[in-house]
Amino acid sequence: MAIQKEKKVEIISKFKQAETDTGSAPVQIALMTERINELTEHLKSHKKDKHSRRGLIAMVGKRRKMIKYMEKTAGDKDTKKLLKELGID
């Protein structure tokens, strides 16, 4: 259930801040959001998959911490722009 390589490359190229950037906060948040969306769709059809549900909850918490970190370092304006672009409000 990993993100397809083409989709991952597309997300990284859209949110990267430098040419060789693959691990900055916006990129990580965008990748986690894509993975969370995929897991959410999976859990709609597999309601009893408790292990994936636990992983989803952990990933949402990790993304929330990353967003807080980005607010402290990059500023509120950049963070709000990223969240709006990702559809997180």
| pLDDT tens digits for range 22-66 | 899 999 999 999 999 999 999 999 999 999 999 999 999 999 999
| Cα distance between residue 9 and residue 52, in whole Å | 24
Give me the domain span that covers residue 43: 25-86
| Cα distance between residue 30 and residue 14, in whole Å | 9
CB 67 within 8 A of CB 29: yes
Establish if 18 belongs to a structural domain: no
AA identity, residue 14: K
CB 1 within 8 A of CB 42: yes
Domain of residue 41, CATH code: 1.10.287.10
Distance of alpha carbon 27 from the chain centroid: 8
Domain count, the chain: 1
What pLDDT is stored for residue 1 in this prediction? Answer: 65
Establish if 41 belongs to a structural domain: yes
